[in-house]
Structure 1
């Protein structure tokens, strides 16, 4: 069995997932530069060679953690369970905030671009933003494509979401429910502004959102 085959086995996938879980905790408490591969292996309770085997390097390990975190963020935000449009929007925003609170270090890395100016992390961030825009469009209108005006307005709203969320994580107040309500209200205003320019993208009523 070659390396790629062995990595693809159930046991290999489980071990890789365990290492990623350890990495999330480590990078949440310790800076990237302060962690060595020896530290990572010691905390994971494995030989250092095993970390190299699955990830190639500390950078590869870090990028794998960011990739997995991005996938979870998107999954959490997009799990709307066939709710009506207003419910889908609220569920999406609340899922986003729940993820950010639970995985603060990973969230900050995704939103701010990681360690320094990391081109690969910035590419992950850009992909996350694009997929979140599509998620919001589907939640609001049941469609994934965005007319230019709608895209511009939602990009502005999403940038505000990132700024608000980072500040909320830093201050730990107000409550998640209040932050969610503020962001949903702001989204409702953005959607109504979009409708003024793009009638085929109708906004919910104020009573709904």
Structure 2
């Protein structure tokens, strides 16, 4: 087989694997892990179950691959603009994080809650996501990815609040007055500003960055800034 044929085969394999992951995300969004068998998955995908084993070795391997893909997408969306100024990068990070949760409810819940039961591997994936997000926030705020332990704990507290708030937000129907993403994003950025000010009090080596006048605005899908409802535009 020549190189172009090899690349073609590899390309087709990657496409098929991606298709199976996409199908799996939808299946596990509506059905619990234990309620789905490999036979069920293969039937929904319209493939022989041997193909699932070929790409993922087992149902668990398939599930972990879905979680890892979801994590990669979340991190990419939240941390995808490293060349922006620090404060703008923080704003974009928060908005990217909320955008992902808004459009991928089930995947977000899996990432944040650790998936099936107390699955150690899924929990490890979740912890890795948190560390990357903490490093991104620290870099945006302080220009470095690591901070002293007390400052890190303060950022962990803020991120834990973000996770809980986001879970509640995506679980609230629009009919019940769920806030729009830009409004929630502005709130979370403002809470982060307060956290950074407190960090400066306790860890003088981590001074809070200057706050631009428009800090509380956040970019929405239409490209415009939105301010909290308590402020005039």
Name the TM-score, length of structure 1 as normaliser: 0.92
Contact in 1 for aligned 2:142/2:209 (Cα 8 Å)? no
Unpaired runs of at least 5, structure 2: 217-233
Q: 2:180 aligns with which of 175, 180, 184?
A: 175
Q: Deviations over 1:171-207 (max 9, x none)?
A: 0411111111111111010011112233332223443
User: In structure 1, what is the equivalent of residue 193 of structure 2?
Assistant: 188
State the alpha-carbon separation in 2 of the partners of residues 80 and 87 from structure 1: 10
State the alpha-carbon separation in 2 of the partners of residues 153 and 81 from structure 1: 23
User: In structure 2, what is the equivalent of residue 92 of structure 1?
Assistant: 93
Q: Which has the higher helix share?
A: 1
Q: Deviations over 1:45-97 (max 9, x none)?
A: 21111011111111111011001111111111101252222211110000001
User: In structure 1, what is the equivalent of residue 229 of structure 2?
Assistant: none
State the alpha-carbon separation in 2 of the partners of residues 201 and 162 from structure 1: 24
User: In structure 2, what is the equivalent of residue 78 of structure 1?
Assistant: 79
Q: Deviations over 1:93-129 (max 9, x none)?
A: 0000111111111111111111111111111111111
- CA gap of 1:81–1:147, structure 2 versus 1, over 3 A, is closer
User: In structure 2, what is the equivalent of residue 122 of structure 1?
Assistant: 123
User: In structure 1, what is the equivalent of residue 224 of structure 2?
Assistant: none
State the alpha-carbon separation in 2 of the partners of residues 184 and 44 from structure 1: 41
Tell me the matched-pair count. 205
Q: Equivalent residue of 2:171, what SS? A: helix
Contact in 1 for aligned 2:91/2:189 (Cα 8 Å)? yes
1:51 aligns with 2:52: yes
Structure number with larger C-alpha Rg: 2
